[in-house]
Chain A
């Protein structure tokens, strides 16, 4: 039984193919998600980092300016400034620079609300500091008073301003920590999503593998089933063949079988064919019934099989008519003797259903040469007429053609 090689076209195969396609897509998504996630995280980190550096630099610059102002103020308050005008100018320039730095700080993108709030408060502290310095500038006092004002008001204001500006750095640190936390979260996502996809892929493979195995099992089962069916069919065919070529009663090959054999032999080889017919068999059926008649025929057939099945083909071509083919391994004489022997055996007494039955038997033998190109029908007709001739002459004899 040939296997069904066109598995690909079954729905099962289609399903498997689609599943593998989906797995492919998922795998691709896995790679893309992973790559995109990591790229995103990398870019975010890089941008935030450079923004932080920028912020830090501005904060540091503002602090430096505040310290410069303080130095100038000390020299003014301590009355040690070489040129107070120059100091004033330096202070003005420093505040201008702080203003510029402030603007650039506030113009930063992605400045957190907290940073903005803190920067505003730092700016207020700087404003208060600047206002006090301007008051001193606009309303010069004695050097003692100026020193006092410096120590009691300006220095604390400067310290507060520096402190509030420095606080921005700490927020920076805290925000870096928060950023790290967020990045870690994003990293978690960018890792987690591919991991999820990977697991999904695994499950898909698992499921597909299982369904494939199931499908294969199904195929194997179906194949076995088909093989079994084919075997059954073979057996049925054999039975039908047997029924067609066998006499149901005696189990011997029938007339069709004989014709089939003859078809192969005629014109090909030299052989002898003998037919035998029980004389006056109808009387057995009429007097003892068909059942005894049938039993009689069965017994005769058994005897034939026992004695001659190994040497020649035996046929039960109709009711009480038997045929035998002797191959070319037997000479014509040997065949003649054997046929006579068979005729006598068939005519010998037989015990059937507790009764001893004995009917004589007539026979005809035909010596067929390969050169004789005759039909099966004409061969059988010749044998029949020879048999009739034997019967006409009183039966219990062999007629040789």
Chain B
């Protein structure tokens, strides 16, 4: 009887072991399948709502591509913020980041820190705002010159063959976004294109230190853009003045009113940022000139849709921060996977007008 029992036990044991070995294999597969491929650090400029869309895009890309996203940002976009960004990058390097996706507050200040990252084998991609450091793998964001060009072509469309006088309320003298948005606009109307891809060339120049002195024997690669000459496309349109709104709604409004008064034949005002956009619209509203003065501006805001409906605002250039976050991470993963990527990725802008403001995709864009 004992022996009989024992052989039964052995049989059962053998039967149990079979699925148990399967169990072990399953657990191994589970680990492999669930393991995140990379740790990607996404660093933006501040806690403003605009960056939330970038964060959402980055995190969704992370989930889609099975990579872990470590999102961080300084509280404010200022000098202190630059230091915070540096320490976040240093931490990322220490923590063994696989890639860094950065929206740099300053185009130069972070170069050394970023160089340290690339020296540690961590690829760096920039989003929204590019840096001057040439070691970065790619820039993913709005091409501001293109955005300016789009605004210009729309302005030309609004003015028609008749053309007319156009003024610009730019936000801050010397700030890259302002310069590029203004140049893009003006050059397009003048028949020059400064937009990137086809004319991008890389030149080697002697390296300089912070004071601007040439360092002997050291060279840096500089990407230069050569404008393409296409001739004066809109001879009837004339940019009469670039005024400075200084990033302030009131100042922008004041300047807009001055321009309208100073140029009686003024047909259109182009505002290069959100505060300029709001200020110009308020000026036009207050003067009751919605039918006379056309307004094309940058960046949507709470009252923008109502103004598009009433005709005060005729077109607004909207960026796609979600796409920047999403594509930033996506290209970082491609880069880590040794896939070929373009060095400048235009996430595109959308010109929102009365006619498309209710389109599904535009609504989604504005809700971001």
Contact = CB atoms under 8 A, between A and B. Distances in A.
Interface of A: 30, 34, 114, 117-118, 120-121, 123-125, 127-128, 131, 139, 142, 144-145, 148-149, 151-153, 155-157, 159-160, 163-164, 167, 170-171, 173-174, 177-178, 180-181, 183-185, 187-188, 190-192, 194-195, 198-199, 201-202, 205-206, 209, 212-213, 216
A131 B348 contact: no
Nearest to B147: A152
B150 A177 contact: no
Looking at B15, B150, B350, which has the most chain A CB atoms within 10 Å of its CB?
B15
Contacts, number: 153
Interface stretch (B58-66, B110-118, B237-245, B283-291): B58-66
B119 interface: no
A177 B66 contact: yes
B23 A192 contact: yes
A232 to B, nearest CB: 31
Nearest to B348: A156
B357 to A, nearest CB: 12
Given A142-B233, A148-B149, A205-B5, A125 B361 contact: yes
B330 interface: yes
26 contacts: A127-B359, A144-B231, A148-B195, A152-B149, A155-B197, A156-B348, A159-B345, A160-B347, A167-B61, A174-B64, A180-B32, A181-B30, A181-B33, A183-B29, A184-B27, A187-B25, A188-B22, A188-B26, A188-B27, A191-B20, A195-B23, A198-B12, A198-B15, A202-B12, A202-B13, A212-B5
Nearest to B29: A184
Interface string B356-368: 1001111011000
B19 A194 contact: yes
B33 A184 contact: yes
A149 B151 CA distance: 12
A205 B198 CA distance: 80
Contact of B2 (A118, A123, A213): A213
A338 to B, nearest CB: 65
A127 B361 contact: yes
Contacts of A167: 61, 64, 326, 330
Contacts of B326: 164, 167
Nearest to B64: A171
Given A148-B149, A174-B64, A184-B27, A192 B33 contact: no
Contacts of B65: 170, 173-174
B9 A205 contact: yes
B159 to A, nearest CB: 14
Contact of A202 (B2, B16, B157, B327): B16
Contacts of A192: 19, 23
A329 B35 CA distance: 111
Contact of A160 (B146, B150, B323, B360): B323
Looking at A34, A205, A213, which has the most chain B CB atoms within 10 Å of its CB?
A205
Contacts of A180: 29, 32-33
Given A118-B64, A195-B16, A213-B2, A151 B359 contact: no
Nearest to B22: A191
Interface in B174-201: 188, 193, 195, 197-198
